Structure 1
Amino acid sequence: MYLGIDLGTSGVKTVLIDDAQRVIGTGHAGLKVSTPQPGWSEQAPQDWIDATRAALADLGKPLDRVAGIGLSGQMHGAVCLDESGRVLRPAILWNDGRASEEAAQLDGQQRFRDVTGNLVFAGFTAPKLVWMQRHEPQLFESVRRVLLPKDYLRLWLTGEAISDMSDASGTAWFDPASRDWSDALLSATGMSREMMPALAEGSAVAGQLRAEIAGEFGLPAGIPVAGGAGDNAATAIGAGITGPGPGLVSLGTSGVIFAATDRFLPAPETAIHAFCHALPGQWHQMGVILSAAACLEWWAGIVGQPVADLLEELDPQPGQPARIAFWPYLTGERTPLNNPAQRAGFTGMSARSTRPQMTRAVLEGVALALAENMAALREAGGGADSLIAMGGGARSDLWLAMLAQATGVPVLRPAGSETGAGFGAARLGLMAATGAGAEAMTRPEIAARFDPDPALLPGWSEALSRLQAQRA
């Protein structure tokens, strides 16, 4: 058996697979995000450990035959440790916009784009540390190690400070072409290689499970923990996406269009991400919106109704987009706007607007924002001929049908889509334990297919143009 641990923003998921890569158990424990100021987003790393303990217990299965562990997690977060390994402050998360000024200043140095192949987004790790230098100088002086969220779990599990190439790509300190830290970029932000974790490929061994932790959960001591991956690369591994062809659309807290490539294809002017994939010699392009399923959860909270009840009120057919439009920018936006100050809103409402119409607008707004990301990938020389849908939002037939209309390509829902990143992490654990490569990964069985209706495509294209014009 192989265990995947996925550290998300809203919770920790655990996935157990057998030797045939069939899911035989899942567990979950929730997490909360602290927003001490508008635009800020933080979590206590100890909460991640507590939630991992609970998610492992929630599996409800003996773990004595687990042979390998893989990790995946939310990207870009800054976990700052002092000389003794003590956490200095709450982790600043991926969707935190406080470092927008620092990000713009770093992005103004051409070397950052030249080396990383990416814009420096406010959510990336490097600008967070520059922000600390300016606003928390005493804390910054005590920083001796910076870890990404999932790698803090690795430190707890193994005692080793190691990251993988896909997650490290999102720091703005990393050179994806050479798959290594950039000493020049580290130095430009007052950092050094000694403050960074060691590096391993996602499918390689990156630490062994400590006996203390093994005994707590009934796991075998010393089993390998894989390098793992950032959440989206892990989800792609779960979907068997390792090269050109089908891409990935993820409808989690954030929204992602992901396409694997066999070479590094940077295009920072499009605001897409060009990162290493979780397997050796592979890369990917990725467009990201900061709020996807989070928009629907927010709207459900506003109207005081469960998401499932709101969706039941809607016509199940995608149809033509409505005149009411929703901008899904609850916490700013990345691709293609690169604007942490961008905010959400409804337009086109009247006194006759209804709750179902506004719910539908939320779904359409997210679908159109993801269509913008697909267009950006195509502009950058990538893209996909179809999209495998993963994440909690992929359970909605209507939402996937809307995505097919908005992007113009078939959207495919596999069985078990809700376990995407955790399943991918478990696969990486299997690879680390057995030495298997990409050939061991099959694409999942497709449970449902949503094809775009050519007759509706012009209306969806017009809706996207209308939203862009209003935003401008």
Structure 2
Amino acid sequence: MLLLGIDIGTSSIKVSVVDPVTQVAIASAQYPDEESPILAPQAGWAEQLPDMWWLQVQQAIQICNKSGKYDPKDISAIGIAYQMHGLVLVNKDQQILRNSIIWCDSRAVEIGSKAFEAIGEKKCLERLLNSPGNFTASKLAWVKQNEPDVYDQVDKIMLPGDFIAMRLTGAITTSESALSEGIFFDFKESQLSKDVIKYFGFDTSFFPAVQPVFSNHGELLPAVAKTLGLKAGIPVAYKAGDQPNNALSLNVLNPGEVAATAGTSGVIYGVSDKLAYDPQSRVNTFAHVNYTDKQKRLGVLLCINGTGRLYSWVKTLFGPSVSYAQMNEKAAQSPSGSYGLRILPFGNGVERMLNNKPVGAHFHNIDLNIHSKEHIMRAVQEGIACAFRYGLDIMRGNGMNPSVIRAGKANLFLSDLFAEIFVNATGVPVELYKNDGSTGAALGAGIGSKIFASPAEAFSKMEKIKVIEPASNNKFEPVYQDWKNLLSEHLKINQ
């Protein structure tokens, strides 16, 4: 008996096959090797092709199967993690109606701002725990306003993970966690938000059946099973957004526990038991994977759009022939502070923690006689860490004060240098674990299919790699304050 986890990232798809006895991946695969394209028909837009994800999922599973380390017929359940907030539209024949408008697309900011004002800021924050902002509901409203021919054909709206589950099973479902991340969920009433539906004029039939995150979301179709070498009828037993799933992967389920990730975007995600919100909606609150009406478990999410995306951009420009590991080695050759070079790591869409202002990415204090690629590579990591610190201070102002942060040893946290800079910038120790999103999704499927009696049992063998403590002679604070002053100047310019 094995479990299959699928992680639908912005850059690529990763799958893992996990043995529930050891709770360890016995095989993993990622596809494609190069980063998937983000389509930008206009400035501030970001789209991807849903069928690209589906083709990549199939390729990744088939590559994993070819490892020869397991019998694909032994897989008994599937779990899916996915990039959050994307909008996928299908007609009654389950045909895609347009490209997916993904999480970092900025076109609906003004629509969300008008909804926030019209519905009432106090009501939105108390019931939705967020402004409609640039989330899925506002993206759907943009389609309604600007592409009425497409909107008139809509039968169901989905998030990226719902779409992949549909392709696997033919069934379309959602969850309270998914509805909350789209800003469709009223936490006071524990149902679809009447205020959002009424204001935007959405048809309630657009929304799939609501089921628990850990439950049967459909069973593998015979034709798909044959293509993938799997057993027909096995359930998709878990679906969650990538950040709630990352928290699950790190066994972050209880109030006060905090996770972080630094992939295409950077996230700090803390669990709370209070229906609380940031008055400016700079950090956002969603239903966590273990949220129920009786036991409130909320995920408080800080998102920075441009973390790994900026590092990827720098690699393309300054190190196309080197690996990320080699970039990290080069960055470590530069001294702390990068000889005054400061980088604001934005520019991948508007940033919620900056009140949706289009700040952009900026390089400051370049000295043509001093700075080299090595200094730029380190300054990027320092700028990203400073952005994390800036956002964490917002979370602290809202009552989230972590004593430790858990992270998977993946993406930017593969860099020992970045982990060290992150810890010194935030002043919070980091525990690094072996788990990743696809492994977490697989174990989530084990919970949903009742192989595990509880999440605690599913992660009872989680392997801690190491703990990184802030330096005793931490001298990073002046670097951060200098960075923060530069950001303040840019925020004034964009008022």
TM over 0.5: yes
Match of 1:458 among 477, 481, 485: 477
Report the CA distance between 1:354 and its aligned residue. Answer: 1.9
Residue of structure 2 in register with 1:119 after alignment: 131
Residue of structure 2 in register with 1:288 after alignment: 303
Report the CA distance between 1:320 and its aligned residue. Answer: 4.7
- What secondary structure is seen at the aligned counterpart in 1 of 2:303? strand
Using the size of structure 2 for normalisation, the TM-score is 0.90
- What secondary structure is seen at the aligned counterpart in 1 of 2:86? coil
Which blocks of at least 5 consecutive residues in structure 2 are unaligned? none
Is 1:397 aligned with 2:398? no
Amino acid at match of 1:97: S
Q: Is contact 1:97-1:340 (8 Å) kept? A: no
Residue of structure 2 in register with 1:238 after alignment: 249
Match of 2:225 among 214, 218, 241: 214
Residue of structure 2 in register with 1:51 after alignment: 56
Amino acid at match of 2:126: D
Amino acid at match of 1:248: A
Cα RMSD after superposing both structures: 2.0
Counterparts in 2 of 1:20-39, with a 5 A limit? Answer: 20=21, 21-30=23-32, 31-39=36-44
Q: Is contact 1:6-1:425 (8 Å) kept? A: yes
Q: Is contact 2:256-2:272 (8 Å) kept? A: no
Residue of structure 2 in register with 1:199 after alignment: 210
Q: Residues 242 and 460 of structure 1: is their aligned pair in 2 closer, same or farther, counting only changes over 3 Å? A: farther
Q: Is contact 1:317-1:398 (8 Å) kept? A: no
C-alpha separation between the residues in 2 aligned to 1:428 and 1:268? Answer: 33
Comparing 285-294 with 256-265, greater Cα deviation is found at 256-265
Q: Is contact 2:344-2:487 (8 Å) kept? A: no
Report the CA distance between 1:270 and its aligned residue. Answer: 4.8
Residue of structure 2 in register with 1:13 after alignment: 14
Residue of structure 2 in register with 1:431 after alignment: 447
Amino acid at match of 2:463: E
Is 1:102 aligned with 2:102? no
- What secondary structure is seen at the aligned counterpart in 2 of 1:26? strand
Any idea what the Cα deviations from partners look like across 1:3-51, whole Å, max 9, x if unmatched?
Answer: 1111111111111111221111111112322122221111111111111
C-alpha separation between the residues in 1 aligned to 2:471 and 2:337? Answer: 10
Q: Is contact 2:213-2:289 (8 Å) kept? A: yes
Q: Residues 45 and 143 of structure 1: is their aligned pair in 2 closer, same or farther, counting only changes over 3 Å? A: same
Identical aligned residues as a percent: 27
C-alpha separation between the residues in 2 aligned to 1:415 and 1:439? Answer: 17
Q: Is contact 2:78-2:238 (8 Å) kept? A: no
Using the size of structure 1 for normalisation, the TM-score is 0.94
Amino acid at match of 1:41: A
C-alpha separation between the residues in 1 aligned to 2:267 and 2:188? Answer: 22
C-alpha separation between the residues in 1 aligned to 2:206 and 2:163? Answer: 14
- What secondary structure is seen at the aligned counterpart in 2 of 1:169? helix
Report the CA distance between 1:119 and its aligned residue. Answer: 2.3
Counterparts in 2 of 1:114-153, with a 5 A limit? Answer: 114-122=126-134, 124-153=135-164
Match of 1:387 among 378, 386, 405: 405
Amino acid at match of 1:347: H
Q: Is contact 1:386-1:409 (8 Å) kept? A: yes
Amino acid at match of 2:27: G
Aligned residues: 468
Q: Is contact 1:270-1:380 (8 Å) kept? A: no
Amino acid at match of 2:108: A
Amino acid at match of 1:237: L
C-alpha separation between the residues in 1 aligned to 2:425 and 2:188? Answer: 32
Q: Is contact 2:261-2:407 (8 Å) kept? A: yes
Which blocks of at least 5 consecutive residues in structure 1 are unaligned? none
Report the CA distance between 1:174 and its aligned residue. Answer: 1.6
C-alpha separation between the residues in 2 aligned to 1:318 and 1:223? Answer: 53
Any idea what the Cα deviations from partners look like across 1:281-325, whole Å, max 9, x if unmatched?
Answer: 322101000111111110111124333333222336984565211
Report the CA distance between 1:145 and its aligned residue. Answer: 1.2
